[in-house]
Chain A
């Protein structure tokens, strides 16, 4: 098969999976009004499918910081952190992340995807083992592939399966990096961190936790699951992204291991890419400052999340296992998921449609995400529409 025919075949498979469903992916947003509203297809649409958990995308502090940085430092760095792209803002943000997590040091990457790629591929090599949750994000898989290590999946959030696999590894468990996520991006559930930490200690492995969706969401100051569980200093490497609750783009890794700094010299996803732009860094620094003290926003976020979760549960929908800012409706097949998605769009509500293989275990999902800027009325409206659609579906 030729190189281009392979793409044709992938396109055909996608069409066959869901005729008429192509429009759900990469839908053009014509104008964005706020953290909760945009114009799509000429209509005002309620956004219930973003990762803007604290609703900070239009925060005046962040916008002002970004404007000032553009005026003072220009639009881009035009180079790698290892060369001409290492500005004082990048270093200040690293110091602020280390301080935020009470950790020794941190590294800022250009995206969260690269934070995982760069950290995992720097830690692991051929002959080592990546022991990863079966529902891991693609950036985790890709980081493992880049490293050349053996990739072993454990059943999602299943501590017994993890233990079984650690035992089977024998001595190799000491060259193993266990990888989990604070909140899983598809079903919105949290990792059993206490059990995972106990196991990693028992078997002498290292642990990396991706807090992409839990930063700003969990813990008193918003560190994520490490803070909620009080296990900050038991996790060897914490990665995360600026692209969700911090409303920027970029990623980080924090650690107490002194070797973290050495990664800068071996990690290709850190070295061979330009550093984040001055505006991005300035806005992220402002957002992190807000996030650390945003106790009230977190309270509202969780009230909102629980309002939607319990309303949908009462209607009868099958949902992810625990309430949180990601409320995933689990459907039997792609057709049902598309029907629901279309029904919501008709009622001017945007959510995420997720089909196999992106969704775990061949499931189809309609993934709603809640943020602190949603009003109880907006959530009530979404619940009402979903209630009517439930009757139609069943």
Chain B
């Protein structure tokens, strides 16, 4: 796989979330996953499973409790990916 960057993960997340939520506004790094996107926990967990496969990582469910914005999620994925190398 190509070198994974924080920005790359962020971009991918914004793309995937746009498709998933049909939001009528632009999703950015600061978008709140729960209050602004109203993404339910099942959709979020499914998206995370997809991302896990994409980056060959496992994201612990309990790590998600600190995730509020899209950037938080991207940071978490980046951190796990870096640690797994």
Residues of A within 8 A of B (CB): 129, 134, 144-145, 150-153, 155, 164-165, 168-169, 356-357, 361-362
Contact = CB atoms under 8 A, between A and B. Distances in A.
B61 A361 contact: no
Nearest to A167: B56
27 contacts: A145-B62, A150-B60, A150-B62, A150-B63, A151-B60, A151-B61, A151-B62, A152-B58, A152-B59, A152-B60, A153-B45, A153-B61, A155-B49, A164-B53, A164-B56, A165-B58, A168-B56, A168-B57, A168-B84, A169-B58, A356-B40, A356-B42, A357-B41, A357-B42, A361-B42, A362-B42, A362-B43
B61 A152 contact: yes
Nearest to B62: A151
Main secondary structure of the interface of B (DSSP, over half): helix
Could you say which interface size class chain B belongs to? 10 to 19
B2 interface: no
Contacts of B59: 152
Contacts of A362: 40, 42-43
A392 B49 CA distance: 37
B54 interface: no
B63 A357 contact: no
Contacts of A165: 58
A129 B59 CA distance: 11
Nearest to B49: A155
A169 B46 CA distance: 20
A261 to B, nearest CB: 29
A194 to B, nearest CB: 23
Contacts of B43: 362
Contacts of B84: 168
A234 B38 CA distance: 44
4 tightest A-B CB contacts, nearest first: A150-B60, A151-B61, A362-B42, A152-B58
Interface string B3-32: 000000000000000000000000000000
A362 B84 CA distance: 31
Nearest to A153: B61
A382 to B, nearest CB: 30
Most chain B CB inside 10 Å of its own CB: which residue of A145, A153, A165:
A153
Contacts of A151: 60-62
Contacts of B42: 356-357, 361-362
Nearest to B61: A151
Contacts of B63: 150
A313 to B, nearest CB: 26
Nearest to B57: A168
A155 B41 CA distance: 15
Nearest to B43: A362
Contacts of A356: 40, 42
Most chain A CB inside 10 Å of its own CB: which residue of B43, B49, B58, B84:
B58
A357 B46 CA distance: 13
Nearest to B46: A361
A356 B43 CA distance: 11
A327 B23 CA distance: 37
A308 to B, nearest CB: 28
Given A134-B45, A153-B61, A168-B58, 4 more contacts: A144-B62, A151-B61, A153-B49, A357-B41
Nearest to A359: B42
Given A153-B45, A155-B49, A357 B40 contact: yes
A388 B43 CA distance: 34
Most chain A CB inside 10 Å of its own CB: which residue of B41, B53, B62:
B62
A175 to B, nearest CB: 13
A166 to B, nearest CB: 10
A62 B41 CA distance: 43
Interface string B34-76: 0000001111011001000100111111110000000000000
B27 to A, nearest CB: 21
A136 to B, nearest CB: 11
A134 B58 CA distance: 13
Nearest to A152: B58
B4 to A, nearest CB: 15
Contacts of B45: 134, 153
B40 to A, nearest CB: 7
